Structure 1
Amino acid sequence: MRKYQYLLFSLLSIAFLASCGKSYKEQQRLSREQQIEAARQDSAALKIATVPTMDCLPLFIAAEDSLFQKAGVDVRLKRFGSQTDGDTLLRSKRAEGIVTDLVKAERLRRQGIALNFVTSTGASWQFISNRIARVTELKQLSDKMVAIAPYSATQMLADLTIDSARPKETVYRIEINDVNIRLKMILNNEIDAALLPEPQASQARLFQNTVLMDSRDKNLHLGVIAFRQKVMENKDRRQQVKKFLQVYDATVDSINKHGVKHYGKIICKYMGVDMRTVNALPKMTYHHATAPRQRDVARGARFTP
């Protein structure tokens, strides 16, 4: 009897294992199909590289509130701490667009990546000194270290500002691509000064660090959203960009109506700051998608190494 019970148990076990095997194979097949479909959808989506700064706010709002989806366009934001990471994504054709500045964009152009500037942005930067360094004037930057992102608007603004001040000794440009690392270096007294955009500049000011220069006073509008030219030559992609810009304009209207602080939670989520920093932000006005001024494009091109 035991012999038959053992045989029955063995047969049932084999059947169970066989069914499990089929189930596992089926799961593997479905997993592969899902991966292929996910890759297809990602390839078809409009992918844009962003950084945690206020010039990206319209994009972050539209993504958070599903406004792109409601408009019938699949826009996927690729979030990075530095523009350099976005450059890499664009070069490898894993993104169609990028939020950047005209110095960075012109450098990409010179490297053979044709770009179409669909709109300028309100990006601005402040030259902020560490309060511990006791630098209250630009001429006091002699023998100091300044954090910048190389080949960018921050390098251009740093060079223009330092050259105009003519400090007696060398000012050392330290290459720090990640905007939040530049901020932390100021807050942790690891650097004498840094070029910071918003909201990082507001957070630095909250800790009594000194503003030496504000790019908004220079009549320079260097922020830009760009797409690869090949994208704009494709009919379906052009339609995606058109819908993207429609959503962008509608989101800009909402920001201007309610103010940036109305979107404090989104700013905190996407830019890594707190509400105290949000409340310290200056008044900001956003504009509809408008091509950058030719004079700003020319300035970026003249500076680009």
Structure 2
Amino acid sequence: MFYRVTLSFNSTFMKKVFLLLAALAGLASCHKTGNKQAEKVSPQDSTVLYVALMPTVDCLPFYYAEQQGIFDSLNANIEIRNYMAQMDCDTAFCRKHVDVAYTDLIRAALLQSKDTALNVIMRTDGSHELITAFSKRLKSPKQLKEKMVGMARHSVTDYLCSEIVKKGNISPDELYKPQINDISLRAAMVQNATIDAAFLPEPYATQARLLKNRSIYSTPKEKIHLMCMMASWQAQKDPKKAKLLHQLIQGYDLAVQKMKDKSNQDSARNLLKPFGLKQQVLDSLKLPKYHKASVPDAKQVQKAIEWLRAQELISKQYNGDTLVTSFLTK
């Protein structure tokens, strides 16, 4: 599936298209989105808080809180469901299979503008890097003209493609953007040079760099912080779920405090090993400086709204003034 691919079908581009489609067919058979746990749909239980996460460093404190028994110590019945694609987190959330989901401000605002009852409850400390395939020898955004950059439509990586276009001084139609939602598949396609580049979160960016691929752009350097967690209005209004939401945040903060210790960081990194990451990647992975749960900065929210409006994805009337709630992080 391609998003905003130019209609100038020169022979070089068509070869890339056919190679990409063939590679997707082959690689997709080896990469299943999510896992068996995520595929199970349990009846909603008001005594359980269902949380959709991805194996990224900004979700790591939640995984650590679960593994270390922090949630159990709070008598919080929290069930984590794992996904390899942000779109799958969103789908589970919209279908009410989960109460809370890992997302970004672009996706959350877009969903709310289309009448999905949600609030962003906290920011997360994640990042993305633009990784270029080693064999492509791409060292700058200026070299991305008529190149393929793997991303996810109407999300933070779509926003970042717009930033890359401006930074590289190239036309939006000159950047080809195949939609590759599964982050492990996206990383594999960069490694195989099936695509020229891709936006990857950690730890997949570290994995790519260790395999000699090049990072030419990172969100921390550009002061872009759009990753977050969203919760449904239904969960916020249900007394039992609301209590669990408070315990979720409390558990997250306790995990962040414990993960300041280096020995705990090492054990936390290893929680990502079941997602197909080698020990060398985990040993090399630099964790971010985690912060206690807090709401996203208003300037970051405004970036998301302005981009969505520029893409004509939201109405002029929607301004995101009810997107973020601070009732859990006061």
What is the CA–CA distance in structure 2 between the aligned matches of 1:302 and 1:51, rounded to whole Å?
Answer: 26
**Structural RMSD (CA):** 1.8
Query: Secondary structure in 1 aligned to 2:293?
Result: coil
Post-superposition Cα deviations, 1:226-272, rounded to whole Å, max 9, x if no partner, equal: 10122112222111111111111000111122363332321212x43
Aligned to 1:296: 300
1:125 aligns with 2:128: yes
What is the CA–CA distance in structure 2 between the aligned matches of 1:113 and 1:160, rounded to whole Å?
Answer: 27
1:146, 1:174 within 8 Å by CA — same for their partners in 2?
yes
Query: Secondary structure in 2 aligned to 1:123?
Result: coil
1:224 aligns with 2:228: yes
Deviates more, 1:196-205 or 1:281-290: 281-290
1:268, 1:275 within 8 Å by CA — same for their partners in 2?
yes
Post-superposition Cα deviations, 1:174-224, rounded to whole Å, max 9, x if no partner, equal: 100111110010111211000000000000000111111010011121111
Show the 5 A alignment for 1:164-179: 164-167=167-170, 170-179=174-183
What is the CA–CA distance in structure 1 between the aligned matches of 2:111 and 2:44, rounded to whole Å?
Answer: 27
1:82, 1:178 within 8 Å by CA — same for their partners in 2?
yes
Aligned to 2:19: none
Aligned to 1:104: 107
Show the 5 A alignment for 1:122-271: 122-167=125-170, 170-258=174-262, 260-269=265-274, 271=275
Aligned to 2:88: 85
Aligned to 1:46: 49
What is the CA–CA distance in structure 2 between the aligned matches of 1:234 and 1:283, rounded to whole Å?
Answer: 35
TM-score (norm 1): 0.83
Query: Secondary structure in 2 aligned to 1:217?
Result: coil
Show the 5 A alignment for 1:24-35: none
Q: CA deviation at 1:41?
A: 7.5
Unaligned runs of 5+ in 2: 1-40, 314-330
Show the 5 A alignment for 1:57-68: 57-68=60-71
Give the share of equivalent positions with the same residue, in percent. 28
Letter in 2 for 1:262: S
Post-superposition Cα deviations, 1:14-56, rounded to whole Å, max 9, x if no partner, equal: xxxxxxxxxxxxxxxxxxxxxxxx9567453100111111111
Query: Secondary structure in 1 aligned to 2:221?
Result: helix
What is the CA–CA distance in structure 2 between the aligned matches of 1:123 and 1:260, rounded to whole Å?
Answer: 16
Letter in 2 for 1:123: G
Matching residue within 265, 280, 283 for 1:279: 283
Letter in 2 for 1:200: Y
Letter in 1 for 2:270: K
1:130, 1:192 within 8 Å by CA — same for their partners in 2?
yes
Letter in 2 for 1:69: D
Query: Secondary structure in 2 aligned to 1:194?
Result: strand
Aligned to 1:16: none
1:140, 1:167 within 8 Å by CA — same for their partners in 2?
no
CA distance 1:39–1:161, change in 2 (3 Å): closer
1:202, 1:277 within 8 Å by CA — same for their partners in 2?
yes
Letter in 2 for 1:89: A
Unaligned runs of 5+ in 1: 1-37
What is the CA–CA distance in structure 2 between the aligned matches of 1:96 and 1:120, rounded to whole Å?
Answer: 17
Query: Secondary structure in 2 aligned to 1:118?
Result: strand
Query: Secondary structure in 2 aligned to 1:216?
Result: coil
1:72 aligns with 2:58: no
TM-score (norm 2): 0.77
What is the CA–CA distance in structure 2 between the aligned matches of 1:42 and 1:63, rounded to whole Å?
Answer: 19
2:46, 2:241 within 8 Å by CA — same for their partners in 1?
no
Query: Secondary structure in 1 aligned to 2:101?
Result: strand
| Aligned pairs, number | 267
